[in-house]
């Protein structure tokens, strides 16, 4: 949850002080993908961790039955 909040706050700070979010990580030479920043990575990884944890909890609950 901390990663999601940190990423959201990072983008919010950019929007407040600059009026836009600065994206600076470009992996287009390797893959055709939009440019992004560390805050976007934090939000994505935080959401992925939550989804994985939920899946693990569901599997553990089913094994108890």
List Cβ neighbours of 2 (8 Å cut-off, separation of 6 or more): 46
Q: Please tell me the distance from the alpha carbon of residue 18 to that of residue 26, in angstroms, as a whole number.
A: 20
The answer to whether 26 is a known catalytic residue is no
- pLDDT value at position 32? 87
| pTM, entire model | 0.84
Q: What is the mean pLDDT of the chain?
A: 94
The answer to whether 14 is a known catalytic residue is no
Q: Please tell me the distance from the alpha carbon of residue 55 to that of residue 45, in angstroms, as a whole number.
A: 15
- pLDDT value at position 15? 95
Which residue ranges of the chain lie beneath pLDDT 50? none
- pLDDT value at position 20? 94
Active-site residue, selected from the candidate residues 36, 38, 40, 44 = 40
Asked whether 3 and 42 are in contact (CB, 8 A), the reply is yes
Q: Please tell me the distance from the alpha carbon of residue 58 to that of residue 3, in angstroms, as a whole number.
A: 23
């Amino acid at each position: 949850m901390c990663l999601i909040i940190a990423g959201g706050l990072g983008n919010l700070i950019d929007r407040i002080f600059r009026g836009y979010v600065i994206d600076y990580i470009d992996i287009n030479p390797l893959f055709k993908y939009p440019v992004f920043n560390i805050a976007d990575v934090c939000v994505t990884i935080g959401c992925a961790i939550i989804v994985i944890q939920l899946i693990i909890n569901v599997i553990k609950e089913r094994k108890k039955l």
